[in-house]
């Protein structure tokens, strides 16, 4: 009786706890939080100064006693204490808008494919300490597939490529399970590093991570574009040590990103090579589905289609797929129990 009462009245949450961004789906409300996974801490007092976009704006601009960090690396908790505080901040923010008598939420969290049992427990413990009543862990490609409405319970091949900030998750899913899969560290953060390295090698210029990301968003592409894009790129000249601005175009940024994009395509092909032929036949007919922020890179679908010979589709609202899938699972108890591993002992 009590568990069903709690489930009915609590604002249960689906969370995409990503390296670059954290998205939270609240039952009955949709996506309620879309923030950067960044925390700023005052090392003198131990207090959190800012979380999310406010903290991200501080990167590279703080005095020595303010430490700005990303507590998750490649989708894994690198700093447990800061991750717990970040989750608590987000959960409290949602709970504040509700009645004080509202039960603590059940939480479904998306995690990378290759997460270990210890790392999975760390995610669950952090969410419980942050105020969750019960926590379930779901592999990100499974949550993505649910979020974009793929029939994962059917005996058909569903291929999902989830481009995150720290990892790219490639998986073939059938009958509520991952059949073949791979998690690789070539994702959004790696593309930013590609641009930083390119600026150093070609222009003798040192870029900040935020500038590199802005340039990637403004001019990044995986294939040649019909219309040329030019954007300013600002950094420090490595020869003079002085500030410098240059204009770069989409062709130069594409050159910077090309090796990582080709590597991702090769990894997708390697998964297809070990996928059972019946499922490959389904994928040939139904296509590959792209989710995550990296799926928004211009032409990435066409580049993968050319590399694999398969139809490729970018999911609607690709960036929120994991959080929406986690939220959808909260509405389907049977499917949730089938695809998720409890992160800790049930409290109710």
pLDDT tens, residue by residue, 296-344: 999 999 999 999 999 999 999 999 999 999 999 999 999 999 998 755 4
pLDDT of residue 102: 66
> For residue range 70-83, what is the model confidence (pLDDT) as tens digits?
999 888 889 998 99
Could you tell me if residue 148 is inside a domain?
A: no
> For residue range 19-66, what is the model confidence (pLDDT) as tens digits?
999 999 998 889 999 999 999 999 999 888 999 999 999 988 999 999
Q: Could you give the count of Cα atoms lying within 13 Å of 309 in the half-sphere of its Cβ?
A: 5
Residues 108 and 223 in one domain: no
pTM above threshold 0.85: yes
Residues 220 and 265 in one domain: yes
pLDDT exceeds cutoff 70 at 193: yes
What are the Cα distances from residue 145, in Å, to 25, 159, 289?
16, 8, 8
Could you tell me if residue 348 is inside a domain?
A: no
Residues 157 and 305 in one domain: yes
Residues 188 and 252 in one domain: yes
Average pLDDT over residues 272-283: 97
Burial of 118 (0-12, 13-18, 19+ CB in 10 A): exposed
Residues 20 and 139 in one domain: yes
Q: Could you give the count of Cα atoms lying within 13 Å of 83 in the half-sphere of its Cβ?
A: 23
Cα–Cα distance measured from residue 215 to residue 252, given in angstroms and rounded to the nearest whole number: 11
pLDDT exceeds cutoff 60 at 211: yes
Could you tell me if residue 233 is inside a domain?
A: yes
Cα–Cα distance measured from residue 230 to residue 247, given in angstroms and rounded to the nearest whole number: 6
Q: Which of 97-111, 131-145, 180-194 has the lowest mean pLDDT?
A: 97-111
List CB contacts of 347: < 8 A, sequence separation 6 or more: 128, 133, 134
Hey, what are 194's tokens?
């590609």
Residues 33 and 132 in one domain: yes
Could you tell me if residue 81 is inside a domain?
A: yes
Cα–Cα distance measured from residue 80 to residue 254, given in angstroms and rounded to the nearest whole number: 36
Residues 172 and 288 in one domain: yes
Please name which of 180, 15, 40 lies closest in space to residue 106, comparing C-alpha atoms. 15
Residues 266 and 333 in one domain: no
Residue 100 structural domain: 2-143+321-342
pLDDT of residue 157: 96
Give the three-state DSSP class for 185. coil
Residues 310 and 329 in one domain: no
pLDDT of residue 94: 84
Residues 16 and 119 in one domain: yes
Element (H, E) at 108: strand 106-111
Total domains in the fold of the chain: 2
pLDDT exceeds cutoff 90 at 92: no
pLDDT exceeds cutoff 50 at 254: yes
Residues 86 and 194 in one domain: no
SS3 of 15-75: EEECCCEEEEEECCCEEEEEEECCEEEECCCCCEEEECHHHHCCCCCCCCCEEEECCEECC
CATH number at residue 83: 3.30.420.40
Hey, what are 322's tokens?
């994991």
Residues 288 and 330 in one domain: no
CA angle 205/193/84 to nearest 5° reads 125
Could you tell me if residue 347 is inside a domain?
A: no
Residue 293 confidence class, pLDDT cut points 50, 70, 90: very high
């Amino acid at each position: 009786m009590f568990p069903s009462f709690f489930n009915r009245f609590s604002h249960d949450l689906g969370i995409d706890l990503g390296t670059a961004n954290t998205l939270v789906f609240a039952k009955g409300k949709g996506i309620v939080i879309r923030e950067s996974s960044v925390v700023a801490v005052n090392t003198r007092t131990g207090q959190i100064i800012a979380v999310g976009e406010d903290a991200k704006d501080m990167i590279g601009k703080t005095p020595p006693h303010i430490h700005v960090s990303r507590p998750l690396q490649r989708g894994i908790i690198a700093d447990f204490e800061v991750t717990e505080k970040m989750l608590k901040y987000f959960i409290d923010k949602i709970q504040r808008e509700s009645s004080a008598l509202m039960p603590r939420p059940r939480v479904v969290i998306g995690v990378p494919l290759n997460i270990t049992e210890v790392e999975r427990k760390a995610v669950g413990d952090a969410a419980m300490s942050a105020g969750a009543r019960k926590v379930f862990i779901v592999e990100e490609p499974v949550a993505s597939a649910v979020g974009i409405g793929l029939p994962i319970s059917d005996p058909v091949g569903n291929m999902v490529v989830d481009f995150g900030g720290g990892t790219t998750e490639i998986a073939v899913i059938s009958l509520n399970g991952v059949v073949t899969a791979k998690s690789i560290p070539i994702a959004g953060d790696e593309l930013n590093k590609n641009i930083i390295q390119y600026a150093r090698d070609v222009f003798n210029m040192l870029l900040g991570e935020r500038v590199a990301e802005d340039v990637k968003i403004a001019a990044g592409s995986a294939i040649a574009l019909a219309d040329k894009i030019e954007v300013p790129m600002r950094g420090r000249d490595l020869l003079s040590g002085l500030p410098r601005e240059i204009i770069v175009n989409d062709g130069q940024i594409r050159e910077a990103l090309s090796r990582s994009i080709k590597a991702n395509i090769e990894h997708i092909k390697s998964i297809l090579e070990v996928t059972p032929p019946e499922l490959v036949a389904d994928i040939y007919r139904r296509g590959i589905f792209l989710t995550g922020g990296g799926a928004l890179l211009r032409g990435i679908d066409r580049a993968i289609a050319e590399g694999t010979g398969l139809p490729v589709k970018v999911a609607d609202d690709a960036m929120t797929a994991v959080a929406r899938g986690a939220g959808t699972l909260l509405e389907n108890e049977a499917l949730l129990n089938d695809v998720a591993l409890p992160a800790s002992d049930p409290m109710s």
